[in-house]
């Protein structure tokens, strides 16, 4: 999260149900505040005077321009405009409390804002969908959560969660990659009792899965990452916390149960002092590791997210920056290098997991530069389109450099939707497997109950698959139990 002056992002649901006040919008006052018109607000769109609309209030954020962690340009792009939806989706209400009382310069009649005209219809649609939602026990597999999410999430949340880069080829390939690998099951083994426990960097975990860091869980549910923390804690698995989480890391840390482990996803900041401060903070809060994310010097072009916020004029979006994700990379260090791993290790004793590795060569470099674990991932297909699926990189690593598995723990994520996907990766040498979007969908549909049910489904499927391949413990899952079969994959694809 952009921890800094904001003390982290936090989210409440999109304010589709904001209550307008009764006013003609043509001057006057309410609650001691002047009632402003949109035309008046639109005049304040420069460094000299920057106003924004949030809820039914107008704020003068001119003095905040150069305090913003992501820079003044982000605010100036939205100055003189209604920013309620984007603000509410990724910021904490406490941000506004940082402003002086006199910086709330007035109120506005939201009925007269063109940007709010779709709110009532969207709110009605979501209400109808929520009323028709089946019980969480009806979720049979992880795909079920996604189908429900399409119906009950706001357009903004769905566009952001489901979006991937450009043609979305990498995202589709992630999902298909596990279909290229088939089992070679062993039979006549006593599999009544099985053990799915393992450890991640010495931390015990009940299952060989973890929650991949995924931004803005609050778009789907007001409790955001806190729901996922609670669900993961009760199930005994580790959660990775996104740098762009909706809730503050203090809120998330406070939701832990005794002994629960959290890892923090770190993007190194252009301002190294800010990164140092964040690292100290997570260390003080008792986080158990850092997932250093290295595949995002800039954000990929996520077109579903972009299209959800169409421009209203040619000069509205300089550089094509639109969508919820438009400004999430504003503080990223574009010139990240391997030498930065040593810098990070020099300021913390926490174990370092290097996340976003996509080639065998970079696995070797990550180990050479001191990674405690290597995390194969193409960012859910959100970054470079046509980047390889982590499962395929894992297979290549097993074939070309099997000795790497003894030098560092290897994790993967991307396209995991079945317990059988997890078992395939474990057999090829992965220590643990992460899931991102499925937990966003589970949280966005059912909150903490959804998170718990998603983990139960995975536990059931992993257990069933282990018994059917003839493995009583994770140590009995070996490479010989999996084979790559591209011919079978093509036949399966054509049938579908």
The CB-side HSE value for 356 (13 A sphere, CA atoms) comes to 17
Looking at the DSSP assignment, which residues form a beta bridge with residue 383?
Answer: none
Residue 171 among the catalytic residues: no
Query: Would residue 69 be called left, alpha or beta, if left means φ above 0 and alpha means ψ between -120 and 50 degrees?
Result: alpha
As given in the structure block, the two tokens for residue 212 are: 């991949």
Residue 295 among the catalytic residues: yes
**Which residue in 379, 385, 392, 421 is the catalytic one?**
379
Using CA atoms, how far residue 3 sits from 63, 267, 320, 347, 367, in Å, is 19, 11, 26, 18, 29
**Which residue in 267, 375, 441, 446 is the catalytic one?**
267
Give the integer Cα–Cα distance in Å for 224 and 235: 18
**Which residue in 56, 82, 119, 295 is the catalytic one?**
295
Check if the beta carbon of residue 107 is closer than 8 Å to that of residue 58: yes
Residues 6+ apart with CB under 8 A from 28: 34, 35
End-to-end Cα separation, the chain, in angstroms = 40
Give the integer Cα–Cα distance in Å for 462 and 457: 9
Residues 6+ apart with CB under 8 A from 442: 142, 145, 450, 451, 453, 454
Kindly tell me the sign of the dihedral angle through the C-alpha atoms of 463, 469, 470, 471. negative
Residue 204 among the catalytic residues: no
Residue among 432, 436, 295 nearest 362 (CA): 295
Annotated catalytic residues are: 267, 295, 379
């Amino acid at each position: 999260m952009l921890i800094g002056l904001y003390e982290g992002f936090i989210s409440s649901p999109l304010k589709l149900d904001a209550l307008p006040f009764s006013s003609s919008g043509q001057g006057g006052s309410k609650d001691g505040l002047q009632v402003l018109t949109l035309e008046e607000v639109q005049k304040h769109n420069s460094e000299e005077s920057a106003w924004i609309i949030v809820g039914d209030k107008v704020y003068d954020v001119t003095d905040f321009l150069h305090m913003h962690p992501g820079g003044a340009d982000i605010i100036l792009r939205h100055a003189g405009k209604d920013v309620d939806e984007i603000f509410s989706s990724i910021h904490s209400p406490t941000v506004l409390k940082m402003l002086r009382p006199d910086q709330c310069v007035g109120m506005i009649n939201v009925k007269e804002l063109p940007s709010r005209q779709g709110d009532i219809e969207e709110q009605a649609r979501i209400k109808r969908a929520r009323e028709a939602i089946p019980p969480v026990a009806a979720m049979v597999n992880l795909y079920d959560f996604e189908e429900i999410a399409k119906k009950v999430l706001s357009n903004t949340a769905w566009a952001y969660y489901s979006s991937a880069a450009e043609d979305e080829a990498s995202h589709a390939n992630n999902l298909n990659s596990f279909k290229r690998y088939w089992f070679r099951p062993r039979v006549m083994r006593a599999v009544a009792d099985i053990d799915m426990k393992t450890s991640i960097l010495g931390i015990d975990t009940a299952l060989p899965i973890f929650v991949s860091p995924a931004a803005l869980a609050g778009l789907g549910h007001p409790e955001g990452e806190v729901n996922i923390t609670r669900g993961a804690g009760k199930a005994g698995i580790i959660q990775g916390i996104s740098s762009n989480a909706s809730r503050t890391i203090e809120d998330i840390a406070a939701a832990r149960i005794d002994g629960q482990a959290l890892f923090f996803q770190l993007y190194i900041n252009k301002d190294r002092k800010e990164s140092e401060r964040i690292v100290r903070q997570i260390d003080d809060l008792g986080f158990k590791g850092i997932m250093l994310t290295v595949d995002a010097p800039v954000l990929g072009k996520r077109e579903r997210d972009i299209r959800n916020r169409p421009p209203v004029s040619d000069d509205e979006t300089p550089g094509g920056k639109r969508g919820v994700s438009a400004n999430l990379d504003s503080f990223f260090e574009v010139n990240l290098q391997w030498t930065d791993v040593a810098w990070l290790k020099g300021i913390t004793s926490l174990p370092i997991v290097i996340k976003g590795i996509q080639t065998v060569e970079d696995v070797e470099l990550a180990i050479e530069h001191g990674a405690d674990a290597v995390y194969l991932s193409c960012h859910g297909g959100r970054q470079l389109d046509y980047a390889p699926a982590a499962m395929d990189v894992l297979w290549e690593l097993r074939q070309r450099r099997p000795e790497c598995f003894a030098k560092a723990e290897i994790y993967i994520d991307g396209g995991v939707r079945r317990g059988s996907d997890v078992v395939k990766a474990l057999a090829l040498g992965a220590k643990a497997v992460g899931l991102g979007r499925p937990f966003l969908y589970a949280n966005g549909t059912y909150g903490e109950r959804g998170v718990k049910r998603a983990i139960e489904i995975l536990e059931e499927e992993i257990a069933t698959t282990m018994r059917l391949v003839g493995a009583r413990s994770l140590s009995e899952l070996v490479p010989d139990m999996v084979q790559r079969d591209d011919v079978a994959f093509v036949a399966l694809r054509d049938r579908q």
